[in-house]
Amino acid sequence: MAHPSSTTLPAGSLTYGRTVADFISQFIGIDLQKPYLEAHIEVLNGSRKDYPSNGLNFASAGSGVLQATNQDLGVTSLQEHLQQFQTLVEQNYIDKNRIQNSIFFFESGSNDIFDYFLTFSPPTLDPDAYCSNLAPLGCGLGGVLLSGAPIDRCYGKMNAMVKKYNKGLESLVNQMPVNYPDVTVYGALYDIVHQFRATPTRYRLHDLSSACCGKGTLGGLLQCGKEGYTICSWPNKFLLWDFFHPSEHAYKIISKALWAGTKYRIRPLNLKTLVNITLPRV
């Protein structure tokens, strides 16, 4: 489904509304980012002179940290995203001074973990080894339907793997300032969503298990957008939009937690504090 910041091409976000990156942009007070490919095509065909100064959205639906994740679906991998950005910098399409005052938002890893459990053949690595092979970028949401997974409670095996991944990610985030002068923060998405589940009425959430868009058990047997799917009347009362992605309301709550939350939700600084920091030039 088309992303609201896109006028001609999807940004690669499977949602009916705004995502975390969109809300954070609005909190900062800048326009929503165009999809990289849309801006790239416009620059190539001459319909625009430069790339947008308010940033770019490199999202590709289904991509992961691992290059092999959903490669058969034609997704653009995280490695390709980084190469695309590096090329823009090397060809002076992006002002290097602007880069020094920019925020880079990464969210990845959930598709890798989902694919680990979805595979039709036995995994060649155990969960510990698999997590150690994941690059240190991402946080996973684990409320999805899988063969053999319970439908009346969280999938313990998947959540355990998400915790291991997030623990390794936070450890690396804490080590990064040793080698890089920039500020790096870790958003504890798992803990934020756990808080939703513990006190749903506080966040005006009425359904924590079912997908608003889809069909079948919990709305997860038929994917949203496939022939025969249905959509709920009040999507913002649901935690999940489809069998894998949060609703816009859930994204907004997550965004607020990352923007102005305590260290329980984002550490060592929240994003509101981060955008007001002036770093020394190097």
Q: Which residues contact 24 (CB under 8 A, 6 or more apart)?
A: 103, 105, 255, 258, 259, 271
Contact of 187 with 139, CB cutoff 8 Å? yes
Assess whether pLDDT exceeds 70 at residue 162.
Answer: yes
Where does the pLDDT of residue 65 fall: very low under 50, low under 70, confident under 90, or very high at 90 and above?
A: confident
Dist CA 208 CA 187 (whole Å):
21
Task: Tokens for 19, please give them.
Answer: 């995502």
- What percent of the chain is modeled with pLDDT above 90? 36
- Which DSSP symbol is given to 123? -
pLDDT at 150 over 70: no
- Assess contact for 263 and 186: CB atoms under 8 A: no
Q: How far is CA 121 from CA 18, 109, 117, in A?
A: 36, 20, 10
| CA–CA distance, 48 with 201 (Å, rounded to integer) | 46
Higher pLDDT pick, 155 / 272: 272
Please report which confidence band the pLDDT of residue 155 belongs to, taking 50, 70 and 90 as the band edges. Answer: low
Instruction: Check the CA dihedral 76-189-265-252 and report its sign.
Output: positive
pLDDT in tens, 215-245: 887 777 778 888 999 999 999 999 888 877 8
Supply the pLDDT for residue 142: 37
Residue 12 has pLDDT above 50, yes or no: no
Confidence category of residue 148, pLDDT binned at 50, 70, 90 = low
How many degrees, rounded to 5, is the angle at CA 234 between CA 232 and CA 239? Answer: 85
86-100: pLDDT as tens digits: 999 999 998 888 888
Report the range of poorest mean pLDDT among 48-62, 83-97, 143-157: 143-157
Q: Lowest mean pLDDT of 25-34, 49-58, 61-70, name the range.
A: 61-70
Q: What is the rounded distance in angstroms from the CA atom of residue 75 to the CA atom of residue 59?
A: 10
Contacts of 163 (CB under 8 A, 6+ apart): 190
Q: Which residue do the tokens 């290097």 mark?
A: 96
Measure the CA–CA gap between 204 and 42, rounded to whole angstroms.
Answer: 41
